[in-house]
Amino acid sequence: MFTIRVQTPSGRYPVFLGRGLLKNTGLLLAGQLPAGPVLVVSDKNVAPLYARQCLQSLQAAGYKPYLKVLAGGEQVKTLETAAGLYTRALQAGLDRRAAIVALGGGVVGDLAGFVAATYLRGVPYVQVPTTLLAMVDSSVGGKVAVNHPLGKNLIGSFYQPTLVVSDVAALKTLPAREFNAGLAELVKYALIWDRKFFIDLENLQQKNIPAGNSLLHAAQPRLLKYIRRAIRIKGEIVSRDERENDLRRILNFGHTFAHALEAATDYAYYLHGEAVACGMLLAVRLAELLRVLERNAARRIRTLLRRLLKFPPPPPALKPQAVAKALFYDKKKEGAALVFILPQAAGRVLVCKAPPFNIVQQVIDEYLY
């Protein structure tokens, strides 16, 4: 088992990463929190697979666990679902000594974290991520949120977990499409922060290890190493800038285009990680056209992305104007200025404010036609 420590102004916590950790959730929690009632929140796909192990281990460690299973999917990330969880917690008599455990992907993690941040003005919570995306991204860094009818993740807070338990064994039941979506967020760290990581991923292909989902089966020890590296990078970035005043913005590489693509397709076409994969390709092209990225570096990054990730084809009915319009609802916007995170080289990015819109438009047009 690896332990990665995350230190932010509002809290220091360990991320435990390994294989077969779920059955030790209770023991790992016992090192951080006194025994008491615990509300485990999960979804209908994850609970049948992993809730029993998790509940049994909590019980064995002296906790009193309650389980709430949600339907799952982005549509449950609402204030209404949060209200149902408050009711469940109140009915179970959870007081301030209680904790919440998020057992699932980013949806469960963001929602349960939001409930933990607000229930009785805040109770501790534990992230137990079961998707690759949640392991490398959403379980670390304390962004918790629910959606609003006018946009995703608009109601939320920064609220760090007490600990994170990442059991990579859970990935073996993850559907291939979800795995690919998580891989996009993993590759992101190499592109924004770590040239050596980028080169390792390039070499991985040169050794002809199959890309995408096969990486999961063919390269388990390597995958664990990559997840560890991604968590370390995320931990380092959020430790330096917990509330996204500056540096943390680089974690949004690919996300300006991604959010616009998701919004313009009513969140029904792409998985988030798939949109991020496309968004990274578009950001590479924008950087190239703006001449902040050399052509050769752009080619290398594109080659890596295309070899490692699967990209859904552009939605046939999607109009460039719809994507362009959606760009202006981006949370990162500063006044009227769009903000893009653009690659400068493999492993290094910059923040670009208000690039000429005709070039942004060209990038969207090239993608859709």
Residues annotated as catalytic (active site), given as ranges: 121, 143, 185, 234, 244, 248, 252, 255, 259, 272
Which lies closer to ligand NAD via its Cβ, residue 61 or residue 134? 134
Among candidate residues 78, 79, 69, the one with its CA nearest the CA of residue 101? 69
In eight-state DSSP terms, residue 315 is P
Which lies closer to ligand GLY via its Cβ, residue 251 or residue 309? 251
Backbone angles phi, psi at 242, to 5 degrees: -60, -40
According to the binding rule CB under 6 A, does residue 106 interact with ligand GLY? no
What is d(CA 68, CA 84) in angstroms, rounded to the nearest whole number?
Answer: 10
From 30-38, 79-87, 244-252, 290-298, give the range in contact with ligand GLY by CB under 6 A.
244-252
What residues contact 250, with CB distance under 8 A and at least 6 apart? Answer: 192, 193, 237, 341, 349, 351
Which lies closer to ligand GLY via its Cβ, residue 85 or residue 251? 251
46, 123, 130, 143: which one contacts ligand GLY (CB under 6 A)? 143
- Residue 159 CB, nearest distance to ligand GLY (Å)? 12
Site string (159-198) toward ligand NAD, x via CB under 6 A:
-----------x--xx---x--x-----------------
From 3-11, 137-145, 286-294, 295-303, give the range in contact with ligand NAD by CB under 6 A.
137-145
- Residue 137 CB, nearest distance to ligand GLY (Å)? 5
- Residue 194 CB, nearest distance to ligand NAD (Å)? 19
What is d(CA 43, CA 233) in angstroms, rounded to the nearest whole number?
Answer: 28
Distances (CA, A) of 154 to 151, 250, 329, 339: 6, 19, 11, 18
Q: Select from ligand NAD, ligand GLY, none the partner in contact with residue 178, using the beta carbon and a kind-dependent cut-off of 5 to 8 Å.
A: ligand NAD
Which residue, judged by CB position, is nearest to ligand GLY in the bound state? Answer: 251
Cβ–Cβ < 8 Å for 17, 139: no
- How does strand 11-18 pair with strand 2-8? antiparallel
Which lies closer to ligand NAD via its Cβ, residue 7 or residue 153? 153
- Residue 358 CB, nearest distance to ligand NAD (Å)? 31
Q: Select from ligand GLY, ligand NAD, none the partner in contact with residue 248, using the beta carbon and a kind-dependent cut-off of 5 to 8 Å.
A: ligand GLY
According to the binding rule CB under 6 A, does residue 105 interact with ligand NAD? yes
What is d(CA 75, CA 81) in angstroms, rounded to the nearest whole number?
Answer: 9
According to the binding rule CB under 6 A, does residue 254 interact with ligand NAD? no
What is d(CA 75, CA 354) in angstroms, rounded to the nearest whole number?
Answer: 32
From 56-64, 136-144, 169-177, 206-214, give the range in contact with ligand GLY by CB under 6 A.
136-144
Question: Rounded to 10 degrees, what is the CA torsion of 229, 230, 236, 238?
Answer: -170
Q: Where are the alpha helices (DSSP H) in the chain?
A: 25-30, 47-60, 79-91, 106-118, 132-133, 176-193, 195-206, 213-218, 220-240, 255-264, 272-289, 295-308, 320-327, 357-368
What is d(CA 69, CA 108) in angstroms, rounded to the nearest whole number?
Answer: 10
Cβ–Cβ < 8 Å for 187, 201: yes
- Residue 213 CB, nearest distance to ligand GLY (Å)? 22
Query: Applying CB under 6 A, which residues contact ligand NAD?
Result: 43, 45-46, 49, 72-74, 77, 104-108, 110, 130-131, 133-134, 137-138, 141, 143, 152-153, 170, 173-174, 178, 181, 272
